[in-house]
Amino acid sequence: MSHSAHLDTFTRDHVPPAALQPEFIFELPALQFPPRLNCATALLDRHIAAGHGGRLCIRAPGGIAWTYSDLQQHANRIANVLVSDMGLVPGNRVLLRAANKPMLVACWFAVMKAGGVAVATMPLLRARELGQIIAKARISHALCDVALRAELDSAVAQHPELRQCVYFGDDSAGGLEARLAAQPATFDTVDTAADDTCLLAFTSGTTGQPKATMHFHRDVLAICECFPVHVLKASPDDVFIGSPPLAFTFGLGGLTLFPMHIGASSVLLEKASPPDLLEAIVEFRASVSFTAPTSYRAMAAAAGARRISAPHGGSLRKCVSAGEALPAATRALWRDATGIELIDGIGATEMLHIFISADETHARPGATGLAVPGYRACVLDEQGHPAPTGTIGRLAVKGPTGCRYLDDVRQEKYVVNGWNVTGDAYLQDRDGYFFYQSRTDDMIISSGYNIAAPEIEEVLLSHPAVAECAVIGVPDEERGQIVKAFVVLRASHAASDVLACELQDFVKAAIAPYKYPRAIEFREALPRTETGKLQRFRLRQPA
Ligand code: 3UK
């Protein structure tokens, strides 16, 4: 551990003990990090120093277009506001709160430069959830979009330890814009240690108390050297776009860190529903997209008709899908509509970003892919030993990044014998490909059979009447559990008992009949998180 730049030692003091941390591996030449580094130097200042400050960096609807120099100047001024005006010292935690927009990125880099710890929050969070985050991370400062002020204000009323809140997006004298205009556009980036924490990413999981994962300056650069370099292979002229919030590390990487690492540009959208995203891809001639499987599914028909992909004369050429399992039916639908093979990848907040994936030429239907260079992955049996090829077990991974929960007993559940255990059931085939089965806690056991819900969802999605679906196990006296499917129909089809029977027969004909959904319920929509994940637990609650 090198000398920390943190004067506020809170994160240092709460890193899990070495014995409870996963094993870290830094085998790739690009992962040999010096003891001191600040990720803002490598991702932002480096480009200006190399004479590329005039390159386009971030755009947003409404004609906003910032070069790398523009972003650097904003970040420097905000860093000055944080330090001189708001009294930030290195190591303090700074809550960030906004929809995806250029100012949020400027604030994020300002925190990095000042040696603070960024805690980005999902825009939809309410005062109660913000309060849990403020308390857990002992947050002292906040930079917040005035549009999202109300919930933060009521959280702060309960948590006076958050002493300094500055808002942006209004013209008031105390607002961020007025304050930064009074500051110089230069700032000496704090010389942090490679293993100083620079961000806390919160993950709620499916239930219960939120967990904060800790990531170092070096972790931010490590993820830029793995998936993007070896799988995505984008170029400096690519235009990145997508839907995940920057508070979700999928979005932070895909829409900020990865494009900036290679000097490319990114388009940030405050609203990124499938129709919004599709329009923006056309308008900005975007070439690399990051979104969830359901979003690709929803965009497919229009994406084909509007010819948005490079194979059809449009701009889009690389499409990353993550956050949830990618059904083979969705992969096929997108390929048929656009000519583009999706890049599926599994990532996790604990791992910071994607660690198993396959590029367009190595993708296999139904498989997530192979371990990304820099990472090792395997399937563990019930005793915690590597399981033989072809058997279902718990997915385990290690690499340059890994799980460090801030002050949380669940550390011992996620890290087993040095492996990060993600909570997913997987199997690995003879060629090394990893196939998602289910969350380990979502496996359905019916009359003694182990049934993975995604396999049934996969079949249902290939039926022409089905727009979306979700499968869970529901209690049953006779069989322990039975398989139940929630189905959202395409507009062209109406719910009926006849259609329910047809769907049941369709499943029986496609996979082992004991897996067919004995119950089917038609719904208008499925419950999802802001990150696009299906909330199965909400389907289990009686309506
Ligand atoms: C599930 C997937 C199958 C899986 C994330 C990319 O999703 C991200 O992080 P979270 O902490 O959730 C992690 C869990 O989500 N999952 C994600 N991707 C896939 N399951 N196939 C996939 N492709 O259960 C995993 O354990 O919210 C994704 C990058 C950064 C991220 N934080």
**CA 80 – CA 215 distance, rounded (Å):** 24
Tens-digit pLDDT profile for residues 87-144: 999 999 999 999 999 999 999 999 999 999 999 999 988 898 899 999 999 999 999 9
- Specify if 334 maps to a domain: yes
Q: Of 391, 413, 437, at which residue does a domain stop?
A: 437
The number of folded domains in the chain is 3
- Specify if 443 maps to a domain: no
Q: What pLDDT shows up at residue 207?
A: 52
**CA 101 – CA 145 distance, rounded (Å):** 10
Q: What pLDDT shows up at residue 532?
A: 79
Taking alpha carbons only, the member of 78, 29, 378 closest to residue 229 is 29
Q: How far is the CA of 352 from the centre of ligand 1 (A)?
A: 10
Kindly list the protein residues whose Cβ atom lies closer than 6 A to any atom of ligand 1: 203, 249-250, 322-326, 344-349, 353-354, 368, 422-424, 436, 439, 531
Structure tokens at 400: 């340059």
The answer on 209 and 76 residing in a single domain is yes
The answer on 167 and 82 residing in a single domain is yes
Bridge partners, 144 (sequence order)? 97, 167
The answer on 22 and 171 residing in a single domain is yes
The answer on 137 and 86 residing in a single domain is yes
The answer on 86 and 39 residing in a single domain is yes
Q: Give the position, in ligand 1's atom list, of the atom nearest the Cα of 344.
A: 23
Q: Of 240, 274, 290, at which residue does a domain stop?
A: 240
Q: What pLDDT shows up at residue 514?
A: 85
The answer on 212 and 268 residing in a single domain is no
Q: Of 437, 472, 506, at which residue does a domain stop?
A: 437
The answer on 292 and 146 residing in a single domain is no
Long-range contacts of 297-302 (CB under 8 A, 24+ apart): 297/330, 297/333, 297/334, 297/461, 297/468, 298/274, 299/274, 299/275, 300/330, 300/333, 300/334, 300/336, 300/337, 300/338, 301/337, 302/275, 302/278
Residue ID of nearest Cα to ligand 1 atom 2: 324
- Specify if 38 maps to a domain: yes
**CA 381 – CA 400 distance, rounded (Å):** 24
Instruction: Show the domain range for 534.
Output: 449-540
**CA 478 – CA 487 distance, rounded (Å):** 24
Q: Give the position, in ligand 1's atom list, of the atom nearest the Cα of 422.
A: 26
Residue ID of nearest Cα to ligand 1 atom 9: 348
The answer on 95 and 50 residing in a single domain is yes
The per-residue pLDDT of the chain, averaged, comes to: 95
User: Measuring CA to CA, how many Å separate 422 from each of 14, 215, 387, 437, 460?
Assistant: 22, 17, 16, 13, 27
Radius of gyration over every alpha carbon of the chain, rounded to an integer in angstroms: 23
**CA 178 – CA 256 distance, rounded (Å):** 25
The answer on 171 and 89 residing in a single domain is yes
The answer on 488 and 422 residing in a single domain is no
The answer on 167 and 22 residing in a single domain is yes
CATH number at residue 522: 3.30.300.30
Question: What is the pTM for the complete model shown?
Answer: 0.92
Residue ID of nearest Cα to ligand 1 atom 14: 348
Q: Which residues of the chain have pLDDT under 50?
A: none
- Specify if 286 maps to a domain: yes
- Specify if 3 maps to a domain: no
